[in-house]
């Protein structure tokens, strides 16, 4: 077990924003091949800041390695090929005039020919169920559609690791189920930042819990959800009263 090499390894990561906010205060984390890890934590606990360190969008103190490569300037092109990050805010991710061009942008950048890039992009759009929107402008899409296009853009690059920051936000229930089955069918190691305990229970093999810029607990998704009561109270109460009434 200890022989396995992690695909992501983070040691002692600290980061302070320019205004003085201490967003990461000593994070140690490993992700292994084949794992799907759910990352939970309150709003503002540092989850997005953390994932932005994994492909070098932010640089803090400490060590971050991806597939054995330190995340530093000279390795960024390689690191960004290995790790696909779907942003919490899709507007930060989509920038081309049409959906198809946006999804084809990554493969083109990787050196695919135009025809091949288009083919890969169409296949990725099919995977997220949005082939029919290929010619639309990304900024005309609904929030859930944007999220799915951003995911297609990452899938088209076939990274070794998928990092998804709140992938279910704005998705309707059928799209959430579709996303869960799609992710389950993909072989990559995955790190999923989510507030959605049910989504994590359906997918993740392990969970970690962030608090004030630190990982304060780690365990099975069930253990973490139970320990932090990570299902909204109103929903739990309703479940309780329904059961009582039976
Ligand atoms: N650009 C910034 N400048 C200053 N402070 C920031 C900046 N971005 C985030 N922060 C602060 O850093 C902390 C961590 O923010 P982060 O976005 O990582 O939280 P999060 O866990 O992803 O929250 P959420 O669940 O709401 O997405 C917060 O206190 C936030 O206010
Ligand atoms: Mg966030």
Tens digit of each residue's pLDDT, the chain (246 residues): 446 889 999 999 999 999 999 999 999 999 999 999 999 999 999 999 999 999 999 999 999 999 999 999 999 999 999 999 999 999 998 999 999 999 999 999 989 999 999 999 999 999 999 999 999 999 999 999 999 999 999 999 999 999 999 999 999 999 899 899 989 999 999 999 999 999 999 999 999 999 999 999 999 999 999 999 998 777 666 665 656 555
Other CB atoms within 10 A of residue 131 CB: 16
User: Would you say residue 105 lies in a domain?
Assistant: no
Distance 15 CA to ligand 1 centre (A): 11
Q: Is residue 19 part of a domain?
A: yes
Instruction: Name the residue range of residue 87's domain.
Output: 6-95+159-245
Domain presence at residue 208: yes
Residue 231 lies in a domain: yes
Tell me if 112 is assigned to some domain: no
Strands 61-66 and 36-41: unpaired
Ligand showing the shortest atom-to-Cα distance for residue 213: 1
> Which residue is associated with the tokens 């990352």?
39
Which residue CA neighbors atom 16 of ligand 1 most closely?
46
Which residues, judged by CB distance below 6 Å to any ligand atom, belong to the binding site of ligand 1? 17, 19, 21, 23, 41, 43-49, 88
Atom of ligand 1 nearest to the CA of 19: 4
pTM of the model: 0.92
Expressed in angstroms and rounded, the spacing between residue 47 Cα and the centre of ligand 1 is 8
Per the structure, the count of domains in the chain is 1
Measured CA to CA, the distance from residue 55 to residue 80 in angstroms comes to 6
Residue 145 maps to a domain: no
Phi-psi region of 135 (alpha: psi -120 to 50; beta: other; left: phi over 0): alpha
Burial 138-171 (b: 16+ CB within 10 A, else e): beebeebbbbbbbbbbbbbbebebbbbbbbbbbb
Which ligand sits nearest to residue 46's alpha carbon? 1
**Which residues touch 63 (CB under 8 Å, ≥6 apart)?**
9, 10, 11, 12, 13, 70
Q: Are 182 and 127 in contact (CB under 8 A)?
A: yes
């Amino acid at each position: 077990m200890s022989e396995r090499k992690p695909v992501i390894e983070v040691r002692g990561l600290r980061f302070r924003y320019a205004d003085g906010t201490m967003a990461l205060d000593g994070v140690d984390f490993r992700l292994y091949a084949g794992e799907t890890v759910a990352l939970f934590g309150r709003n503002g606990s540092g989850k997005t800041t953390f994932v932005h360190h994994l492909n070098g969008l932010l640089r803090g103190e400490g060590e971050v390695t991806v597939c054995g490569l330190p995340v530093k300037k000279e390795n960024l092109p390689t690191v960004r090929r290995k790790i696909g990050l779907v942003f919490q805010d899709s507007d930060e991710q989509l920038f081309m005039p049409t959906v198809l061009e946006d999804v084809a942008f990554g493969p083109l950048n990787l050196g695919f020919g135009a025809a091949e890039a288009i083919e890969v992009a169409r296949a990725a759009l099919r995977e997220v169920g949005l082939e029919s929107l290929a010619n639309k402008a990304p900024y005309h899409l609904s929030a859930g559609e944007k999220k799915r296009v951003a995911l297609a853009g990452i899938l088209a690059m076939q990274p070794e690791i998928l990092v998804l920051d709140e992938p279910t936000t704005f998705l309707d229930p059928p799209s959430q189920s579709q996303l869960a089955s799609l992710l389950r069918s993909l072989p990559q190691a995955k790190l999923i930042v989510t507030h959605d305990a049910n989504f994590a229970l359906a997918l993740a093999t392990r969970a970690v819990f962030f608090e004030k810029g630190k990982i304060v607990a780690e365990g099975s998704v069930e253990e973490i959800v139970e320990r932090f009561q990570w299902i909204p109270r109103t929903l739990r109460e309703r479940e309780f009263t329904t059961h009582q009434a039976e």
